[in-house]
Structure formats: structure tokens, C-alpha cells
A and B are shown apart, each in its own frame.
Chain A
């Protein structure tokens, strides 16, 4: 070939090898990180849950389904620098606080299936992902709005109000944009509420920030 020395920077082979190295190594790092992360986001067990319930904080990012037996909060943590889910003792869920791991897991399974079968994600966001036509559901269980909805649906507990709303959403309009009727049965509604309660206990690194710190519903009501 010619005897002129070409710069390495314009040499195809240099870039080809660099591209291969960077792509290959990034992929290896991603796979390694994936194993690490999957280990951390595996669901906890009921044993973990009972141990954690002696304190305030969860030891698992994704708790056991039996978290439905407990009262969940969302508090600022000095150590983490953002809000984290908290456990505040036992709480009845549809009249019981002794769901076994199997029972709770079955409810969560039904709820997760329901969330997909009813296509929640194409109006709402879950963990912030989905469509932007309706409120984010990440911490929906903790939403102060349910206090008002309990009165509107004439139910005594939050979970019953949620289940009633999910079964007949367009009957209880709160804004001009309503949720449509999705033929959700009573059993499915119970599963969905369990799914939402469990999701509110997932450690989302502080998303969403300041959730429910401003209780607009109650303030507006007291002003009237």
C-alpha cells in the first residue's frame, strides 16, 4: 500500500476494536450489576417481615406480601436523605391481620395479574412508569384522599373504600376526568388493593418526594 503514515485516530481498525471492547465490557458490567441488583430486589420472607416489625424500617427493598398485615408509613430518613417506607405495628386488612405467607402471596398474585389485565399502566404510572393520564399509583395506598373517599363510598375502612371505588369507579367522579368501569370483580378488587398496599412498602429511594405531606382534601373541606 502507500507509504504514508495514517493517524491512529482516523484508523478504522482502532475504532472497530475500541467499539468491540467498550460494548463487550459494558455488557459484562451490566450483567454483573444485574445479578447484584436482582439479589437486592428479591422479595423478602414473612420471617424478615416479623423481624422488621420490631423496629421502624424494612430490611428488604421489596417486602414479603405479608406486609398487608402491617401499618405502612412513609417517613424521612436522616441516614438515607429521603423518605423511606416504615412499619408502624399491625393493621387489619379487610378485617384480618393474620394473613399467612401463602394467602398474602395469592392476593398479591391476583392483584398483579389484575393490574396487567386491566391495563392500569396505560392511564396511570406505577413506580412512575406508564401513561400520564391519571395519578401515580406508587404510594396510592397512602393517599390522604381515601379519607374523603371512605365518606363518599360509605365504607368504614380504607381498603373497603378502595375496593368499592375500583369496582364502580365512574360512579364516584372526583374530577371531570373519570376512571372508566373495568369490570373489576370484588375478588379482583381485593387483590388489587393488596397489590397497591404492597407497592407502597417498596423502597423507591424516596420517589415520590413529599408524598401526602400536604393534605389538600382535608384543608379544603375544613375551609368550606
Chain B
């Protein structure tokens, strides 16, 4: 048994590779969508604090 699941779909592809058993692909996609929101949050926090001080 290997750590990386054997590829089960018919035709190999990038997204097929990420699909390594339950949830791997979808967790990956959700993460890269959500992560930049932390960056947006920080920027907006700085902006609000600056506006608050004025």
C-alpha cells in the first residue's frame, strides 16, 4: 500500500492527480479560495484603524 493513492480515473490529468482519495482535491480548492481572504482582512483592518485614528 502506497501513501499516494493509485490514480483511479480513466484519463490522467492535473485535477485527477489532486484527487487522491476522499476530500483531497476539494480541501485544496477550498483552501486556496479562502486563504487570500486573510490578506484582505488584514489590509482592511489596517485601513479601518487608520481611519479611526483620524
Direct contact of A and B (CB under 8 A): yes
Complex Cα distance, B7 from A80, in Å, reads: 9
| Pair A8/B10 contact, Cβ less than 8 Å | no
Task: Count residues of chain B with CB under 8 A from any CB of chain A.
Answer: 23
Residue on A with the closest CB to B53?
A3
Secondary structure at the B interface, as helix, strand, loop or mixed, is helix
Annotate B1-37 by CB proximity to A: 1 below 8 A, 0 otherwise. 0000000111101110000000000000100110011
Task: Count residues of chain A with CB under 8 A from any CB of chain B.
Answer: 28
Determine which of B10, B36, B44, B51 lies in contact with A14 in the assembled complex, contact meaning CB atoms within 8 Å: B44
| Shortest distance between the CB of A58 and any CB in chain B (Å) | 8
Q: Which residues of A contact B44 (CB under 8 A)?
A: 8, 11, 13-14, 17
| Pair A21/B36 contact, Cβ less than 8 Å | yes
User: For chain A residues 142-192, which have a beta carbon within 8 Å of chain B?
Assistant: none
The reply on A117 being an interface residue by CB < 8 A is: no
Residue on B with the closest CB to A58?
B10
Complex Cα distance, B10 from A81, in Å, reads: 12
| Pair B54/A3 contact, Cβ less than 8 Å | yes
Among listed A22-30, A106-114, A216-224, interface-contacting one: A22-30
| Pair B48/A80 contact, Cβ less than 8 Å | no
Interface, chain A (partner B; CB < 8 A) = 1, 3-6, 8, 11, 13-14, 17-18, 21-22, 25-26, 29, 33, 36, 39-40, 58-61, 79-81, 203
Q: List 30 A-B contacts (CB under 8 A).
A: A1-B51, A1-B54, A3-B52, A5-B49, A5-B52, A6-B48, A6-B52, A8-B44, A8-B45, A11-B48, A13-B47, A14-B40, A14-B44, A17-B40, A17-B44, A18-B37, A21-B37, A25-B32, A25-B33, A25-B36, A26-B33, A36-B13, A40-B10, A40-B11, A58-B10, A60-B11, A80-B8, A80-B9, A81-B8, A203-B10
